[in-house]
Structure 1
Amino acid sequence: MKLFKKVREICIIGMGRFGTAIAKTLLEDRENNIRLVLIDEEEKHLSPFKDEVDMIYVADCAEQKTLEAMNLKDFDVVIVSASNNIEIVAALAEIGVKSIIARATSNRHAQVLKQIGVNLIVSPEEEAGKKTAMIVANPTLTLYSENMVELQDGFVSASITITNPDMIGKKISELGFRNKYNVSIMMIKRDHKSYIPEGDFEIEDKDLLTFIGKLENITEVFELCARNDKKGKK
């Protein structure tokens, strides 16, 4: 018997590029059991989602009475993706919203948001800038990396498609990524299906491997995985 999974009510305020990306990602997973509500001051930003989400509102969310009328206090999470958001966050905190996620455009902005009640602060521009700098500073990552994410303490996760014929048909345990390079395989994607592999998992041509490890170690592993690739034969 399936256990009942509580519906999570999520609201996104501000449907620019950042808010749109969040909404699309949430909508891609039809099993996440959420009720999604979108708010923006301009109807044109909301119209692409009118048949996809539970409710859309054209409204100025800096007004406390407006937020109260939409019962946002009862939502599990309110995401404020608009960059000019201090008044909106203050109004949300004032009506008693318990979980607020907001976008910050600078360190000072982040400090102010934290002081007025934001639970989680995201800085997409800063994160994108760091990621781009890391990639362009390293020729191997520039050529081969897919979906690189900076983690903590110098660790990253990054993905690469296997092209080295010496790795095809080998088990993960035989390749010794953990012992030789101090990196771990988090996931393998093959023919649109993803796996969390164990040591006896065999690598096939064009598998997409996602690694986690220190940046310098990931780079070394990528050079191995990409050998005999048309862009960079060794």
Structure 2
Amino acid sequence: MVVGLGRFGKAVCERLTELGESVIGVDKVRARVEELSDVIDLAAQVDATDEDALVKAGAKEADIAVVAIGENIEASILATTILIGLGVPAVTARAQNAIHAKVLARIGASRVYFPERDLGHRVAEHISHPVLAQFTELPGSDFLVGEITPTGEMVGKSLVELEFRNRYNAVVLLVKRGENSFLPRADTVIEETDSLVIAALRQNIGQLAVKIDKSKEKG
């Protein structure tokens, strides 16, 4: 269930639908509801601070709820509280500022997002380290997954020799070699034409990006 169908909520609905998820979207503004009525499974005009209305819209059956309400902080907090009280397993909420985020976390939000800030950070990261444009965030986690070209220091060495986890705080999930892809073993030797699919925490990916960018500059 997505609560609040402004630009952020609408984008969440559209992407979830593209990914094959069943989506219920609610908003008190009729125009927003009508805009998504043919896109998602159910779009309903609902006051998100009305518990009975949320129940009728299917909140109790939702596996995950995204509170995407924008400027109305009070409504955001109330909707989040109601959804948690209804037993929705995971409630993700959009925050406007740090205090709003703290309140959402304290009442039990599973995850708090700052869409504008997060987008700004992502753009800055991509400008500073272009390789980061190849990474995507794993939903519900702080991990990024992406594909990289091995640096010169990686080529000709096995994963155990590279100590990938200790050196880069990352894990190699898959090796793409020509038209083949395979799960690597500790003794897998990296070749120059390989592509590596890796996973790493967002805060640790920077050091690897720096090495990759420097390697490309030398090349």
- When the two structures are superposed, what TM-score results if normalisation uses the length of structure 2? 0.66
Unaligned runs of 5+ in 2: none
Q: Does 1:123 align with 2:111?
A: no
Is the 8 Å Cα contact of residues 186 and 211 (structure 1) preserved in structure 2? yes
Q: Does 1:76 align with 2:63?
A: yes
**Percent sequence identity over aligned pairs:** 20
Closer, same or farther in 2 for the Cα pair 1:16/1:147, shift >3 Å? farther
- Aligned positions of 1:93-108 closer than 5 A: 93-94=81-82, 96-99=85-88, 100-108=91-99
Is the 8 Å Cα contact of residues 13 and 80 (structure 1) preserved in structure 2? yes
Q: Which moved more, 1:193-202 or 1:114-123?
A: 193-202
Deviations 1:8-57, CA, capped at 9 Å, x for gaps: xxx10122332233334433443xxx542111234554456434532111
Q: How many residues are matched?
A: 208
- Report the residue type matching 1:123 in the other structure: F
Is the 8 Å Cα contact of residues 14 and 40 (structure 2) preserved in structure 1? no
Q: Which structure shows the bigger proportion of residues in helix conformation?
A: 2
Q: Supply the RMSD in Å over aligned alpha carbons.
A: 4.2
- Aligned positions of 1:49-68 closer than 5 A: 49-68=36-55
Partner of 1:14: 4
User: Residue 196 of structure 1: CA displacement?
Assistant: 4.9
Is the 8 Å Cα contact of residues 145 and 160 (structure 1) preserved in structure 2? no
Q: Which moved more, 1:200-209 or 1:121-130?
A: 200-209
- Aligned positions of 1:27-176 closer than 5 A: 27-30=17-20, 35-47=22-34, 49-83=36-70, 84-91=72-79, 93-94=81-82, 96-99=85-88, 100-116=91-107, 118-136=109-127, 138=128, 141=129, 143-148=130-135, 157=144, 159=146, 161-162=148-149, 172-173=158-159, 176=162
